[in-house]
Amino acid sequence: MHRERPGTLPASLITRALLVGVAAMLSLGATAARASAQTDYYNTDRGRPVQIEDAYATERYAVELKLAPVRAEWVPDGPFTWGVEPEIAYGLLPRTHIEIGVPVLFADAGRGSRQSGVAGLELSLMHNFNTETRSLPALGLRTDVLVPVGKFAPEQTYASFTGMITRTFPSMRVHANGQYTIGEEPSLLVLSPSSVSRQQPVFSQRAADAAIGTAEVSRWLAGIAVDKTFPLSSFLLTADLFARQPIIASEDVEVFAGAGFRLQTSPNVALDFGGGRELNGDDQAWHVTFGLAYAFGLRGLMPGAGR
């Protein structure tokens, strides 16, 4: 059984979204050469622009506002959903950050109707155990808790644990991620009074709404990514390949490939743009992502700031 996505996406809307994203990147890219040497473009995050990330946390005392991380997903001539997940991360301790995000989903429900709603409250804690050495790669661990808040949220809390490895070579960096999620498989099916005699299970409206959010929860996920940086332009190219088992055990393992780039446009602002496709299954859905992050330091919390 493969997860379903509601609604359809007109081809003209896809074209307009891609053109707007590319135009924004090109216009802002003209200022990249004047940007100060920064590192935000270099530290890749989950979903910005690909799923597989590096093993490094937000710097201590730094605040990163992820203002516009947008993801759109569609099946050609079929269903479409898109969402935005504003997040804030704070470097709480050396090589350790905390993060909070609120994913919001928008979906065409068919026949001209649309649905939107919050898909949970996500709390994260990430720790980078070490920087790279000649013999040891960088190692990181992140814990995520997805709390059932909102119309599209799963009906229970899920906790995920993700291990990350980063190794730098002269020509590129290589990252490997492995994730496992703790939580029971959702019981989304109920029987309507009219279907009891026929023993035909149907979705209640609440269960159908929750299923949209639950579709993005993985029992496990594993993948690899490579990236290439261009420091003089504050620019990074990346690509990844990963597999995931949906939280519903009866669904098949899904395999995805993606690529994208990150661009530092000013000392505080970094942009990213990416896309990818599901490589197996019946749907073989496409997706595009666009993100904007603003990073700054809390000077009052820095050692010696008040002296």
Bridge partner list, 84: 70, 104
- On average, the pLDDT of the chain sits at 82
Ordered structural domains, the chain, with CATH = 11-301 (2.40.160.40)
Helix (H) or strand (E) holding 16: helix 11-29
Note if the pTM is more than 0.85.
no
pLDDT of residue 146: 96
pLDDT of residue 81: 86
Task: Give the whole-angstrom CA distance, residue 211 versus residue 73.
Answer: 16
The SS3 call for residue 32 is helix
pLDDT of residue 300: 63
Q: Are the C-beta atoms of residues 245 and 218 closer than 8 Å to each other?
A: yes
Structure tokens at 42: 């270099």
Nearest to 143, CA basis, from 160, 157, 167: 160
> What is the bridge-based pairing of β-strands 96-101 and 254-264?
unpaired
- State how far the alpha carbon of 126 is from the alpha carbons of 129, 142, 202, 217, 303, in Å: 10, 4, 40, 19, 22
Burial 189-217 (b: 16+ CB within 10 A, else e): eeeeeeeeeeeeeeeeeebbbbbbbbbbb
pLDDT of residue 32: 37
Task: Give the whole-angstrom CA distance, residue 70 versus residue 292.
Answer: 9
Nearest to 54, CA basis, from 168, 150, 221: 168
The tens digit of pLDDT for each residue in 181-234 reads: 999 988 754 444 444 344 444 445 556 666 667 778 999 999 999 999 999 899
Average pLDDT of adjacent 10-residue blocks, the chain of 307 residues: 44 47 42 47 91 95 90 83 92 96 83 81 97 96 96 92 97 97 77 42 56 82 97 95 94 96 93 96 89 84 58
Percentage above 90 pLDDT, the chain: 58
Task: Give the whole-angstrom CA distance, residue 77 versus residue 256.
Answer: 20
The SS3 call for residue 161 is strand
The SS3 call for residue 304 is coil
